[in-house]
Chain A
Amino acid sequence: AQKVTQAQTEISVVEKEDVTLDCVYETRDTTYYLFWYKQPPSGELVFLIRRNSFDEQNEISGRYSWNFQKSTSSFNFTITASQVVDSAVYFCALIERGSTLGRLYFGRGTQLTVWP
């Protein structure tokens, strides 16, 4: 079974629109870590955020915000006032504490295209 599900394969928005990327995860561990990464066309993964399972506070960083809901096993990512430079593939990922240190399970990614 998929441990991380990103149901949205592709999203297109026009600049300045808000957009939310969904992520649903599955784990039996009580301690785990959730991540979001951005992958621009160059291919290099850019770390955006890490959240541990005991911290359900939502986080905001500039135009980015994350909504962690343990009750629904979701860790959604919202970009406010999107810009063309936000166009990339975004991956949600999970590390389970019971797994080999650092073994990441990736979702299949969401391709975000922001049009000018």
Chain B
Amino acid sequence: GAVVSQHPSRVICKSGTSVKIECRSLDFQATTMFWYRQFPKQSLMLMATSNEGSKATYEQGVEKDKFLINHASLTLSTLTVTSAHPEDSSFYICSAPGASYEQYFGPGTRLTVT
């Protein structure tokens, strides 16, 4: 089946720094990718929809200047958490849809901001 990778799987950074997370579709092209955030013991919350060649669409309450999304190619979307703070510590998951409404998830990135 289709595979989506994420890098890094874990990252620890200091407060105030920026962190970039990559999401790649390895064997298929994805014009759309989704970024989710999951806090401990909570559900996945959609942050934004990443669109190849155009601006991302952010969900209500998500700061677009803080969570920069770039969909540079048909196989790569990046999420950059700018000026990270401890409250940004979370599990970030990306996904890419298949042609028939199936959904392929990356393995997730655990971000810890100290």
A residues near B (Cβ < 8 Å) are 33, 35, 37, 42-45, 47, 50, 52, 91, 95, 97, 100-104, 106-109, 111
Contact = CB atoms under 8 A, between A and B. Distances in A.
Contact of A35 (B46, B91, B96, B103): B103
Q: Chain B: interface secondary structure?
A: strand
Contact of B44 (A102, A106, A111): A106
A13 B41 CA distance: 19
Interface residues of B, number: 24
Interface of B: 32, 34, 38, 41-46, 49, 57, 91, 93, 95-98, 101-103, 105, 107-108, 110
Contacts of A47: 102-103, 105
Contacts of A42: 107
Contact of B101 (A43, A101, A107, A108): A101
Given A103-B34, A103-B49, A95 B101 contact: yes
B49 A100 contact: yes
